[in-house]
Every structure is written in C-alpha cells, then in structure tokens.
C-alpha cells in the first residue's frame, strides 16, 4: 500500500504531499490542476519513467517547475508498505543533468543510491517491472481502453509480454529456427556423405596403409644394413688411420735418425779439433790454482805498499804544515817592533836574530826529512808499479787457463751428447724395424680397397633409402588425405546422427513449449474471465450485456454477451460500453498479474460514460471495488465520483491564468 507521496518543484507542484489509505483514493480537480502529475510522479519515483516520458512526449527538464518561477531541481518521495515492511524511495532531477540522485530504504536502512540499482531493487520488492506496471496498474489519462487501441494481430504479443509468455514464443521460434537449420545441415551433410562414400575411402585407406607398412619394413631393413656397413666402415677407417699414423711416425723417426747421425759427425769433428789443442793441458786445474795463489799474494803485497804510501804521504803533509807554520812565525818575528805583542816585554835585535835562527834551523831539518820521505815514496810507487805488471800478467794467464778449462769441459759435454745420440739411434732403428714389420704396401692397398667398397655399398643403400623415404612421404601424404576424408566421413555420420537426435528433441520441445504456452494462455483467460464475470454486474448498470470476456480468435478479442450471443467490443459497443468493458479488463489485469500488490491507477475512467453508468461506477467504487483492489487511485474532474470515495480525497486547485502552483485541499 502506498502511504505517502511528496512532490517538490514537480511540474505545477511547488510542494505537495499526499497521504493515502486502503480502498479508493481520489484526486479531483479541473483540467491542468496537476492531478495526472501526481500519478506520473508515482511511476517516476518507482521506475524512473512514465508513459509520456517513455514515449518522449516530454523531457526530464519539462518536469521541473517553470512557472511562476523557474526551478533548478525537482524531487519526488514515496513511502509504501509491502509484506509488512515499510519502504521509502526518492529521486531528484536537475535541469540539464537528468536524474542526479536516487535512493531506496527498507525500514529506514539505506539500501542503494544508484538510480539504475534503485529501479531494479523496487522491481524485485514489488515483483513487477515498468512495462507490467504501465499495462496492469497505471491507466494514463483517457487510456482506459489501451487494450482496444492495440491493432488486431498484435494484442497477443502485448499480453504475452505481460505474462512473460513472449519468452516461450521466443524459445519456440528459436527451436523451430534451430530445428530447420539443423535439418538443412543434415541434408547438406548427407549429400557430402554420399559423395564421400562413392570414393571408396575405406578400401583406399586400407590399401595405402598396407603399402606404407611394407615400405617402412624395407626402410627398417636398409637402416639395419646401413648400421652394419657403418660399423664396418668405422673399423676400416680405424685401421687406415692406424697405418697412416704409423707411417707418419716411421717417417718422423727416419728424419730424427738423419739428424742424429749428422749431429754425431759434427760432434766428432769438434772433439778432434778440441782434443788436439788441449793435449798439453792435462793438469790445467792445478796450474789455475797456483796462478790464483800468486794473484792473491801479489794483491796482498800491493795492498801493504799502498798502506805504507798512505802513511808516508800523511807524514809529508804534516811536515809541510809545520814548515808553513815556521815560515809564518818567521814573518811575524821579522815584522815585530821593540815590544812583544803578548807579554809586552822588550825585544832586542839580538833576541830577534836568535829567534829567527831557531826557526830557520827547524825549517831546514823538516825540509830534509820531507826530501827523504819523498824519495822513499817514489821508490815504493815504482815497486808497486812493478808488482801491478806482474799481477796483470798473472790475471791474464788465469783467464786464458779458465778459457781452456771451459773447452775441456765442453769436450766432456760433447762426449756425453755423442753417447746419448748413439743410444737414441739404437732406439730409433729398433722402432723403425718394428714399424716396418707392421707396415706393408699390400696391407695398405687392401685396406684402401675395402674402404672404397664399403663407401660404394653405403652410397647404394643411401640412394635406396632416399627413394623409399620419398615414396613413403608421398604415400603418407595421400594416406593422410584419404584418412582425414575417411575420418571426416565417419565424423559426418556421427554428426548427422547427433543432429537428427537434436532436431527430434527440438521439435518435441517446440511442441511442449507450444502446449505450455497455450495452456498458460488458457489459465490466464480463465482467471481473467472469472474476475471480469465477478465485477461486470457491479460495474455495468444495464441488462443488454450480461457478461464480458476475453477470447482468443487468432488474436485476443474482448467480447460482450448480449441477448443474441457474444459480440466483439471492437466496432460494436458504444463509447460507454467500451469504457466499462475496458475498466473490467483493467481490474482483472491488476488482480491477475499482481495478486499480492493489488494496486490500480485510473486517470479519468468516467470518460465516455453516461450519467447512469457513472452512478453505477460510483456505487461500484463505494461498495465493491475497494473489496477487490487493496488500493485504487482515481484521477477525475467529475465531482460525482467523490460520492464513492472511502479513502483519501484530495481536491486540486490552480489559477492557471496567474500561473500559480497547484493547491492541495484535503477533504
């Protein structure tokens, strides 16, 4: 049950709030007072749209109040109770932006704020979507006869969508399409199968398989022979390689032998020359030792002379120093006056002369000593020079003797080398003899002939193998193609069998869907007609038509039962009869499609009704309709309808000349 709706800046409603109750609720007012806007608001807040918006007769911006003052936003709130729980929904639209806010709450708890999600949640809560709401609940202004406005031939499609039977029709049409498609594919496959069977694929495939097996067997035999020949070739190659290595070794030994013989000749020539020149120097070692001792003695003697010379030179230097000192003293004495510069005693000429004579005597003695020492130095230097000459001669002799000793050592070395060469020559001659026993021209020739024969056999087998492999390749290519075609043939047969089963099942399923669809329609018609039968006498005030029903005659037809039988409402009934029949159908739709929701919105339902029919309709509202439908919303300009209102009644007033907003007056 819808408890409350509030409109803010919604079309002509500045701020309008409506509280509704069970039974029949009505909005009464003149044209343009904003009655239909309320019902449009209910549809919009629940599903985000309403018929005129859905068909683009109006835009979202057209729903925001323009007069007396342009508003930027419009809001709608609704509160309803369902299955014992209270729900609240709200939507806000902004100029140029569309729906900018939406929310849905359950018992005050926020569930979602996304506009699309809000719609889906309300659909889940109420059990209906907008399409069903607009057909079974909401009858827009002067559209009570919506069903009759649907062109004949399309009514079943519309009602099937309401019943969700369009899914059955879609499934059934798809079944038919798939079955026909499969049957066509089966026909095409059977033609291909027939063509393939004419080719004798199974027999040809078997023949090629046997030929390939025979070729593979021959290939296997040749491969084994090839392995045997390869082993034989490897053995001969090893023998030839051994012969070649031994020949190479023999040749290297011969070259080495020639080198050794030549080397011995050179050694013998050198030995002969060296021995001839060294025959007088058998005790050269002792002689070198004696000369070395002489050199040592002479070096020691020279060293002693040099020490003596150094001492004499040092002494001469001291004597010269003394002589120079005496000369200096003589000069000072000679230059003295009458007094001593040290003690200031008087110096007489006799004393000065005496002092000079003393100094002259000392000087002469020192000069004589210097002369004697100089002569000794000269003698020592001459003696040292003589010894140096002897030392040089001895050193030269020792060097010559050492050189001769090296020659003697070299002779020994040559003799040792000759001995080694002779020993190596014996070894080489022995090895050459052994190699020549193994090597023979006949043996080498035989090995090469055997190798050539093996190569010939190997080439022959390779050629045969290549030929067989090419044949195998060609045969396998043909076999593969034949086998693929044969497997394809078997697959096609399996496919045909599978598709025949599928086609059969699809056709059975299509029939089941058709039967189910028809039965559901029958059940729907039965229920609709039971409801219309119950409400017709309470709605229709005359006796000329006793019943109303919905019948299938290729398409849905709304019929009235007169004295002469059933007649179609289309083209037969008057405007009032047509409206009453459609009202009965609307009530039946609401109860049949929404047995738990039981809402009905009627916008100007008395259009085309005469006074008597209106009175009957008012009586039905007052006495019967409230018992059938839990909540009815009635939009009308006819004040007479107010007599049948038992729920909330609102009168809507508006001064359109002054562009005033809608005024809501509760009665």
| Cβ contacts of 245 within 8 Å, gap of 6 or more | none
- The pLDDT > 90 percentage for the chain reads 30
> What pLDDT is stored for residue 640 in this prediction?
85
Q: Which of 19, 63, 29, 21 is nearest to 663 (CA)?
A: 29
With helix as H, strand as E and coil as C, how does 297-326 read? HHHHHHHHHHHHHHHHHHHHHHHHHHHHHH
Q: Which of 503, 504, 524, 506 is nearest to 514 (CA)?
A: 506
User: Can you tell me the mean pLDDT for 292-309?
Assistant: 88
pLDDT digits (tens, 9 = 90+) for 326-347: 888 888 877 776 666 656 667 7
Q: Lowest mean pLDDT of 37-51, 262-276, 311-325, 506-520, name the range.
A: 262-276
Residue 385 backbone dihedrals phi, psi, to 5 degrees: -65, -40
Range from 34-43, 139-148, 241-250, 527-536 that averages highest in pLDDT: 34-43
Q: Which CATH class is domain 2-149+593-666?
A: alpha beta
> What pLDDT is stored for residue 243 in this prediction?
81
Chain mean pLDDT for the chain: 86
Range from 117-121, 261-265, 351-355 that averages highest in pLDDT: 117-121
Angle between helices 575-593 and 611-620 (to 10 degrees): 20
> What pLDDT is stored for residue 9 in this prediction?
97
Q: Lowest mean pLDDT of 302-311, 395-404, 435-444, name the range.
A: 435-444
Token couple for 343: 């003690």
pLDDT at 642 over 90: no
User: pTM of whole model > 0.85?
Assistant: no
- The pLDDT > 70 percentage for the chain reads 96
Q: Lowest mean pLDDT of 23-27, 252-256, 270-274, 593-597, name the range.
A: 270-274
> What pLDDT is stored for residue 435 in this prediction?
80
> What pLDDT is stored for residue 150 in this prediction?
83
Buried b (16+ CB within 10 A) or exposed e, 142-168: ebbbbbbebeeeebbebbbebbebbeb
Report yes or no: 478 and 205 within 8 Å, Cβ to Cβ: no
Topology (CATH level 3) of domain 284-425: Helix Hairpins (1.10.287)
> What pLDDT is stored for residue 278 in this prediction?
63
- pLDDT grade for 292, boundaries at 50, 70 and 90: confident
> What pLDDT is stored for residue 340 in this prediction?
65
Residues in the chain: 667
User: Can you tell me the mean pLDDT for 104-129?
Assistant: 94
Report yes or no: 650 and 27 within 8 Å, Cβ to Cβ: yes
Place of tokens 């309403």: 50
> What pLDDT is stored for residue 280 in this prediction?
57
> What pLDDT is stored for residue 275 in this prediction?
66
User: Can you tell me the mean pLDDT for 273-277?
Assistant: 66
User: Can you tell me the mean pLDDT for 650-662?
Assistant: 91
Helix (H, G, I), strand (E, B) or coil at 97: coil
Q: Which of 40, 76, 69 is nearest to 57 (CA)?
A: 40
Complete edge-to-edge strand list for the sheet that includes strand 23-29: 138-139, 599-603, 631-636, 23-29, 649-653, 663-666
> What pLDDT is stored for residue 339 in this prediction?
67
pLDDT at 290 over 60: yes
- Higher pLDDT: 275 or 218? It is 218
Give the count of beta carbons closer than 10 Å to the beta carbon of residue 7: 28
- Higher pLDDT: 93 or 628? It is 93
Q: Lowest mean pLDDT of 74-78, 105-109, 508-512, name the range.
A: 508-512
pLDDT at 390 over 80: yes
Give me the sign of the Cα torsion angle 555, 629, 664, 31. positive
User: Can you tell me the mean pLDDT for 555-561?
Assistant: 90
- Higher pLDDT: 153 or 650? It is 650
pLDDT at 12 over 90: yes
- pLDDT grade for 50, boundaries at 50, 70 and 90: very high
First and final C-alpha spacing in the chain: 20
pLDDT at 424 over 80: yes
């Amino acid at each position: 049950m819808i408890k409350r709706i509030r409109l803010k800046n919604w079309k002509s409603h500045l701020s309008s709030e409506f509280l509704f109750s069970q039974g029949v609720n009505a909005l009464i007012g003149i044209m343009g007072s904003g009655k239909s806007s309320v019902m449009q608001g209910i549809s919009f807040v629940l599903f985000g749209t309403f018929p005129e918006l859905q068909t683009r007769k109006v835009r979202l911006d057209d729903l925001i109040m323009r007069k007396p003052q342009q508003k930027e936003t419009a809001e709608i709130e609704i509160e309803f109770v369902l299955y014992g729980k209270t729900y609240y929904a709200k939507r806000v639209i902004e100029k140029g932006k569309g729906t900018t806010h939406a929310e849905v709450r359950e018992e005050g708890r926020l569930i979602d704020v996304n506009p699309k999600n809000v719609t889906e949640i309300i659909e889940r809560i109420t059990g209906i979507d907008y399409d069903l709401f607009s057909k079974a609940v909401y009858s827009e202004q002067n559209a009570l006869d919506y069903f009759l406005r649907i062109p004949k031939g399309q009514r079943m499609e519309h009602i099937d969508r309401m019943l969700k039977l369009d899914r059955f029709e879609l499934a059934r049409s798809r079944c038919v399409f798939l079955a026909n498609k499969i049957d066509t594919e089966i026909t095409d496959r059977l033609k291909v199968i027939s063509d393939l069977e004419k080719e004798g694929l199974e027999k040809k495939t078997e023949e090629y398989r046997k030929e390939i097996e025979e070729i593979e067997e021959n290939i296997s035999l040749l491969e084994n022979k090839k392995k045997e020949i390869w082993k034989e070739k490897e053995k001969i190659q090893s023998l030839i390689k051994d012969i070649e290595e031994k020949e190479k070794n023999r040749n290297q030994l011969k070259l080495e032998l020639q080198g050794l013989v030549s080397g011995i000749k050179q050694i013998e020539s050198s030995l002969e020359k060296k021995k001839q020149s060294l025959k007088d120097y058998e005790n050269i070692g002792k002689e070198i030792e004696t000369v070395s001792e002489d050199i040592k003695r002479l070096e020691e003697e020279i060293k002693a002379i040099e020490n003596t010379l150094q001492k004499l030179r040092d002494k001469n230097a001291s004597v010269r120093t003394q002589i120079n000192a005496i000369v200096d003293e003589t000069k000072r004495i000679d230059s003295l006056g009458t007094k001593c510069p040290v003690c200031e005693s008087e110096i007489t000429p006799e004393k000065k002369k005496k002092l000079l004579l003393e100094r002259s005597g000392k000087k002469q003695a020192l000069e004589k000593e210097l002369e004697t020492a100089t002569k000794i130095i000269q003698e020592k230097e001459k003696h040292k020079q003589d010894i140096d000459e002897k030392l040089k001669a001895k050193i030269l002799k020792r060097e010559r003797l050492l050189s001769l000793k090296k020659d003697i050592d070299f002779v020994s070395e040559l003799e040792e080398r000759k001995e080694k060469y002779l020993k190596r020559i014996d070894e080489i001659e022995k090895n050459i003899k052994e190699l020549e026993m193994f090597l023979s021209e006949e043996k080498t020739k035989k090995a090469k002939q055997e190798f050539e024969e093996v190569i010939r056999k190997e080439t022959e087998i390779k050629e045969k193998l290549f030929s067989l492999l090419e044949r195998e390749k060609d045969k396998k290519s043909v076999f593969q193609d034949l086998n693929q075609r044969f497997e394809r043939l078997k697959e096609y047969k399996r496919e045909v069998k599978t598709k025949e089963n599928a086609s059969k099942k699809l056709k059975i399923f299509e029939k089941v869907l058709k039967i189910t669809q028809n039965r559901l329609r029958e059940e729907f018609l039965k229920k609709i007609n039971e409801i219309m039968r119950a409400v017709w006498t309470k709605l229709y005030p005359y006796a000329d038509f006793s019943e109303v029903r919905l019948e299938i005659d290729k398409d849905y037809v709304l019929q009235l039962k007169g004295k002469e039988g059933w007649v179609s409402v289309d083209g037969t009934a008057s405007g009032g009869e047509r409206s009453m029949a459609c009202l009965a159908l609307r009530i039946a739709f609401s109860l049949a499609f929404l047995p738990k929701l039981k809402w009905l919105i009627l916008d100007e339902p008395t259009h085309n009704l005469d006074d008597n029919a209106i009175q009957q309709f008012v009586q039905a509202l007052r006495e019967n309709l409230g018992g059938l439908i839990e909540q009815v919303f009635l939009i009308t300009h006819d004040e007479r309808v107010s007599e049948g209102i038992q729920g909330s009644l609102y009168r809507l007033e508006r001064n359109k000349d002054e562009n005033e907003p809608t005024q809501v007056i509760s009665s």
